[in-house]
């Protein structure tokens, strides 16, 4: 099936892929509001370590989450080369700090494989499924578990 | 069905406005400021409510409004003098009318007993004056909705220029346009309504009917010429056509106008497109030009209101001017809020731009710089104008209070006079709305607890009638609302006794007068021995205080024995902007709300005392206040900072707990735009909200209450406080 045929198909899914450490993750393009360079956040007191702080997104206060730290990987030391992907999850806008955006993909939903049964908690909690692209494995991020957990802990803190 | 509900909603919104007009008009009359124009406005308000209610089949409302209107008509016709007694009944009627509207809105039924008494009183006025008038049969007990019982001629009422002429002959030329039918109106019904007003002959003009092949089935080709004898005024005839005004050609002219020669001139002049030529200096000419203005608005309808013609030109002009200056539109609040938000962005953006230009190091006097200066001015003006959209005069709120006073006075059997000042002071809509409950409570308190009984007042050499005054004024960027009474003042001995009984103070505490007064705001304090059904409903002044603090306000009391008490509320102009002190803590910029800050000071070593393990207190004028290190409390640093190296902000929470918050430096004091953290994240402990600084960075606004509560120092405070005073 050619790319255009896939796009026409009802089961087609457009994804934004990005690098976190040496892993590759992706999210549905429809939940991405914008991608911007990293800017210094204002840290929030008494929040979990993976909440880096808040930034000013044209007048809205948007929280920024260090995705690597959230996934249990090494904490990111962000620099100007890092990017923040602003996600729209339901009513909330949340920024994810990642190393770089790597690809925009169009795939059929049937290509998504179930998450292999591994011992990592992060993998079980945050990965909805995996994709095989050429030689790479791309994890489909489950935003619903990554982000509401942030708010819930924020409230609890 | 839905659209009907919408229309009904609009009707109730209009009712609110009309009831407001009604009450303010009645109050004007009460204070002796009313004139015939006021009476007419009151009458119109009730009439409009009745008309709308009729359309929605709200029979009870219609019935009551009808009797009310009939009585007002008597007043308007000068057959019933507006004595204080009459006004009191009218005011109470307006309260009941408001209740009926409220009940209808909620689909409830108001008990008969609320209306029955007043219906009797109102009917009595009508009956009495009707007997004295020439047409006793005019106003009956008929309460069905139909414009009956208004046979009193307006012309007759306004002037006796016309002599005792009862009926006049009008020619009405009525040509509906297709829109009239398209909008669901029906000519037959209009005619029927018209027929109710008097005897009429109708001639149909069929000349415009085209041949069948050219006939548009949805077109309008018929016109009517109606000749009618009626005792009703022209404006009443016009009312029949109220709903079809824009959709037809309508011309009403008076055929035989005895002793009013200008009338025919005026009718002739209607043919000429501009009325300016006839706008001479005499009374009729001036009013004609005013009417032309109206006519120009809608070229189809030619108005020649008999009523205005016999009035001074000034009145006619004033009413026309009022039409244009008071023109309003209803806008969804969400849209305004969005605009307010966007302007907030604009302000921030402009500050960022300015900062950027400074950083770029442009030469002085550069055109960019002057351009920026203009932008700054414009931004500020836009911001002010947008804030002004949300701002509302407190008038509507104050008027509601006049009703509270009336009811409270009746319930306590005290005679109370309410004085209002500064009703036009404007405050943010949200503030106005949230002020209604606390203010109601305070007014009731003033009447119930503040004022003495008439006997006591006379014994103390005061007039039997108590005075409660309600004032509003702008004072240094805030709005100050004061509720005062000329009663006995706060009985401090009794307040202290009750506070002791309730365990709010210890027996050997020495309290200043103002400290005693402030005990009234303590939770669980109520001075009245027996719970009256008026104000003592288990909610005390602490609830009032909390409600006012919730909108960023402060409340204070001052009282003089025998002279009365004054409660003053100071409010911010808007909820979108906060006065804050910008401080730095561990390289983080924070904003502390100015309302929470009592004072700032640089401590000396002797001020700081250790209390237990690691806890510190600071002594401010003999009072020991717990020290909170903002940096540590917020988790910015682990090592406590030496209070001597920082600045101490003495803060007070809403429930009166005090603390000394240590920050590194104070940077600035300014207004900041409040931004919600909850919108995209959630509540963060110790943080009330966020704001955006001039450089585009976000600064957090400190939640003083939560920071103190979290330190657990609320308890500590009471212990140290008691230790210090005891």
C-alpha A135/C-alpha A149 separation (Å) is 32
pLDDT band at A25 (very low <50, low <70, confident <90, very high): very high
CATH classification for the domain delimited by A3-152, as one of 2.30.29.30, 2.60.40.10, 2.40.50.180, 3.40.47.10: 2.40.50.180
Provide the β-strand partners of residue B618.
B608, B625
Specify the fold of B2-149: 1.20.120
Catalogue the E-assigned strands of B507-655: 554-560, 564-572, 577-585, 588-593, 597-601, 608-611, 615-620, 623-629, 647-652
Q: What pLDDT is recorded for position B590?
A: 92
What DSSP string runs through A60-82?
EEEEEEEHHHHTTSPPP---TT-
What are the domain boundaries of chain B? 2-149, 155-325, 333-391, 394-572, 577-725
CATH classification for the domain delimited by B394-572, as one of 1.10.3720.10, 3.30.565.10, 3.30.830.10, 3.40.50.720: 3.30.565.10
**Cβ-based contacts of B635 with chain A (< 8 Å):** 45-46
- Which range among A39-53, B113-127, B488-502 has the greatest average pLDDT? A39-53
* Binary contact (B690, A43; C-beta < 8 A): no
* Binary contact (B684, A94; C-beta < 8 A): no
Q: Is A144 on the interface with B (CB under 8 A)?
A: no
pLDDT band at B151 (very low <50, low <70, confident <90, very high): very low
Least confident range of A6-15, B26-35, B221-230, B263-272: B263-272
C-alpha B618/C-alpha B608 separation (Å) is 5
C-alpha B183/C-alpha B697 separation (Å) is 55
Digit-coded pLDDT (tens) for B529-581: 444 444 444 457 777 887 887 777 778 888 888 888 899 888 877 666 777 89
**Cβ-based contacts of A56 with chain B (< 8 Å):** 348, 692, 696-698
**Cβ-based contacts of A156 with chain B (< 8 Å):** none
Q: What pLDDT is recorded for position B134?
A: 40
Segment B635-639 mean pLDDT: 80
Q: Which residue has the higher pLDDT, B268 or B241?
A: B241
Q: What pLDDT is recorded for position B530?
A: 44
Smallest Cβ distance to B675: which of A47, A61, A92? A61
Segment B511-532 mean pLDDT: 68
Does the pLDDT value for residue B496 go beyond 70? yes
Segment B676-705 mean pLDDT: 82
Q: Is A154 on the interface with B (CB under 8 A)?
A: yes
Segment B180-193 mean pLDDT: 79
* Binary contact (A59, B681; C-beta < 8 A): no
Does the pLDDT value for residue B148 go beyond 90? no
Does the pLDDT value for residue B154 go beyond 60? no
Q: Is B582 on the interface with A (CB under 8 A)?
A: no
**Cβ-based contacts of A154 with chain B (< 8 Å):** 681-684
Q: Is B587 on the interface with A (CB under 8 A)?
A: no
- Which range among A97-101, B6-10, B567-571 has the greatest average pLDDT? A97-101
Does the pLDDT value for residue B722 go beyond 60? no
* Binary contact (B588, A43; C-beta < 8 A): yes
Nearest CA in chain A to B679: A92
- Which range among A25-39, B260-274, B284-298 has the greatest average pLDDT? A25-39
Does the pLDDT value for residue B294 go beyond 50? no
User: In the numeric block, which tokens belong to residue A153?
Assistant: 């802990």
Smallest Cβ distance to B698: which of A42, A92, A157? A42
Segment B654-673 mean pLDDT: 81
pLDDT above 90 coverage of chain B, percent: 3
Q: What pLDDT is recorded for position A85?
A: 94
Q: Is A95 on the interface with B (CB under 8 A)?
A: no
* Binary contact (A60, B680; C-beta < 8 A): yes
Q: Is B325 on the interface with A (CB under 8 A)?
A: no
Q: Is B359 on the interface with A (CB under 8 A)?
A: no
Closest CA to B450 of B564, B562, B607: B564
**Cβ-based contacts of A157 with chain B (< 8 Å):** 684-685
Q: What pLDDT is recorded for position B539?
A: 55
Q: What pLDDT is recorded for position B700?
A: 92
* Binary contact (A61, B698; C-beta < 8 A): yes
Smallest Cβ distance to A59: which of B344, B677, B697? B344
Q: What pLDDT is recorded for position B150?
A: 44
Residue B594 is classified by DSSP as: G
Task: Write out the H or E segment, with its range, that includes residue B7.
Answer: helix B2-30
Specify the fold of B577-725: OB fold (Dihydrolipoamide Acetyltransferase, E2P) (2.40.50)
Does the pLDDT value for residue B689 go beyond 80? yes
**Cβ-based contacts of A58 with chain B (< 8 Å):** 345
Judge whether B620 and B660 are in contact, CB under 8 Å. yes
Query: 3-class SS at A141?
Result: strand
pLDDT band at B726 (very low <50, low <70, confident <90, very high): very low
Digit-coded pLDDT (tens) for B156-169: 444 444 444 467 78
Q: Is A59 on the interface with B (CB under 8 A)?
A: yes
Digit-coded pLDDT (tens) for B367-406: 888 888 888 888 878 877 887 787 888 888 888 888 888 8
What are the domain boundaries of chain A? 3-152
* Binary contact (A40, B348; C-beta < 8 A): no
pLDDT band at B477 (very low <50, low <70, confident <90, very high): low
Average pLDDT over chain B, rounded to an integer: 75
pLDDT above 70 coverage of chain B, percent: 79
Segment A104-113 mean pLDDT: 87
**Cβ-based contacts of B700 with chain A (< 8 Å):** 42, 44-45
DSSP strand pairing (A23-28 vs B687-692):
unpaired
């Amino acid at each position: 099936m050619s790319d255009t045929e896939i796009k026409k198909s009802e089961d087609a899914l457009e994804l934004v892929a990005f690098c976190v450490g040496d892993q590759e993750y992706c999210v549905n393009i429809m939940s991405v509001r914008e991608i911007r360079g990293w800017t210094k956040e204002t840290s929030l007191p008494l929040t979990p370590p993976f909440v880096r702080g808040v930034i000013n997104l044209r007048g809205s206060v948007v929280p920024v989450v260090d995705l690597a730290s959230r996934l249990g990987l090494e904490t990111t030391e962000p620099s100007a080369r890092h990017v923040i992907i602003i996600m729209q999850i339901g009513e909330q806008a949340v920024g994810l700090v990642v190393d770089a955006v790597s690809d925009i993909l169009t795939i059929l939903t049937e290509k998504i494989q179930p998450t292999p049964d591994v011992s990592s908690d992060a993998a079980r909690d945050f990965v909805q499924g995996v994709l095989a692209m050429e030689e790479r494995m791309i994890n489909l991020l489950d935003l619903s578990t990554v982000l509401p957990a942030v708010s819930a802990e924020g409230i609890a803190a | 069905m839905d659209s009907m509900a919408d229309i009904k909603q609009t009707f109730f919104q209009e009712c609110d406005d009309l009831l407001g007009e009604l009450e303010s008009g009645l109050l004007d009359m009460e204070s002796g400021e009313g004139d015939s124009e006021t009476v007419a406005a009151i009458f119109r308000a009730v009439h409009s409510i009745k008309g709308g209610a009729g359309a929605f089949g709200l029979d009870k409302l219609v019935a009551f409004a009808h009797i009310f209107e009939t009585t007002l008509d008597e007043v308007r016709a000068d057959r019933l003098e507006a004595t204080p007694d009459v006004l009191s009944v009218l005011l109470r009627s307006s309260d009941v009318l408001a209740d009926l509207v409220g009940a209808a809105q909620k689909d409830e039924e108001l008990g008969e007993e609320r209306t029955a008494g007043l219906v009797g009183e109102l009917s009595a006025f009508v009956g009495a004056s009707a007997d004295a008038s020439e047409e006793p049969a005019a106003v009956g007990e008929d309460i069905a909705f139909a414009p009956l019982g208004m046979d009193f001629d307006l012309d007759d009422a306004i002037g006796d220029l016309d002599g005792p002429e009862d009926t006049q002959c009008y020619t009405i030329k009525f040509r509906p346009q297709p829109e009239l039918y398209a909008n669901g109106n029906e000519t037959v019904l209009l005619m029927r309504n018209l027929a109710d007003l008097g005897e009429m002959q109708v001639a149909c003009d069929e000349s415009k009917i085209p041949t069948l092949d050219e006939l548009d089935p949805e077109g309008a080709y018929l016109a009517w010429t109606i000749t009618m004898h009626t005792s009703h005024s022209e404006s009443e005839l016009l009312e029949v056509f109220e709903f079809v005004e824009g959709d037809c050609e309508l011309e009403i002219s008076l055929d035989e106008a005895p002793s009013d020669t200008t009338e025919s001139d005026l009718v002739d002049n209607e043919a000429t497109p501009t009325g300016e030529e006839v706008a001479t200096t005499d009374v009729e000419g001036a009013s004609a030009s005013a009417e032309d203005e109206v006519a120009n608005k809608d070229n189809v309808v030619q108005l020649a209101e008999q009523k205005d013609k016999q009035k001074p030109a000034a009145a006619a002009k004033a009413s026309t001017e009022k039409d244009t200056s008071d023109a309003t539109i209803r806008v969804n609040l969400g849209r305004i809020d969005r605009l307010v938000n966007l302007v907030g962005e604009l302000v921030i953006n402009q500050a960022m731009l300015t900062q950027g230009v400074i950083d770029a190091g442009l030469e002085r006097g550069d055109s960019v710089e002057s351009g920026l200066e203009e932008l700054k001015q414009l931004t500020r003006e836009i911001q002010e104008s947008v804030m002004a959209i949300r701002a509302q005069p407190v008038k509507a709120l104050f008027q509601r209070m006049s009703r509270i006073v009336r009811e409270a006075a009746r319930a306590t059997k005290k005679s109370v006079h309410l004085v209002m000042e500064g009703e036009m002071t404007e405050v943010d809509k949200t503030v106005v709305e949230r002020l209604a409950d606390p203010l109601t409570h305070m007014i009731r308190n003033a009447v119930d607890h503040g004022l003495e009984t008439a006997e006591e007042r006379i014994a103390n050499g005061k007039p039997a009638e108590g005075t409660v005054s309600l004032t509003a004024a702008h004072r240094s960027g805030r709005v100050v609302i004061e509720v005062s009474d000329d009663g006995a003042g706060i009985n401090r001995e009794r307040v202290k006794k009750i506070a002791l009984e309730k365990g709010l103070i210890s027996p050997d505490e020495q309290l200043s007068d103002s400290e005693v007064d402030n005990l009234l705001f303590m939770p669980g304090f109520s001075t009245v021995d027996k719970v009256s059904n008026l104000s003592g409903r288990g909610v005390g002044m602490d609830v009032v205080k909390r409600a006012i603090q919730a909108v960023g306000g402060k409340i204070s009391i001052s009282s003089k024995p025998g002279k009365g008490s004054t409660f003053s509320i100071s409010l911010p102009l808007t909820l979108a902007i906060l006065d804050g002190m910008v401080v730095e803590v561990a390289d983080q910029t924070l904003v502390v709300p100015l309302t929470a800050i009592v004072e700032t000071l640089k401590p000396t070593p002797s001020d700081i005392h250790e209390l237990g393990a690691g806890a510190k207190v600071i002594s401010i004028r003999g009072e020991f206040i717990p020290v909170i290190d903002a940096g540590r409390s917020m988790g910015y640093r682990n090592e406590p900072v030496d209070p001597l190296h920082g600045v101490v902000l003495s803060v007070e929470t809403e429930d009166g707990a005090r603390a000394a918050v240590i920050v590194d430096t104070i940077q600035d004091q300014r207004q900041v735009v409040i931004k919600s953290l909850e919108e995209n994240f959630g509540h963060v402990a110790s943080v009330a909200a966020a704001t955006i600084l001039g450089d585009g960075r976000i600064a957090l606004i400190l939640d003083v209450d939560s920071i103190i509560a979290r330190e657990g120092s609320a308890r500590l405070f009471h212990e140290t406080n008691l230790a210090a005073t005891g």
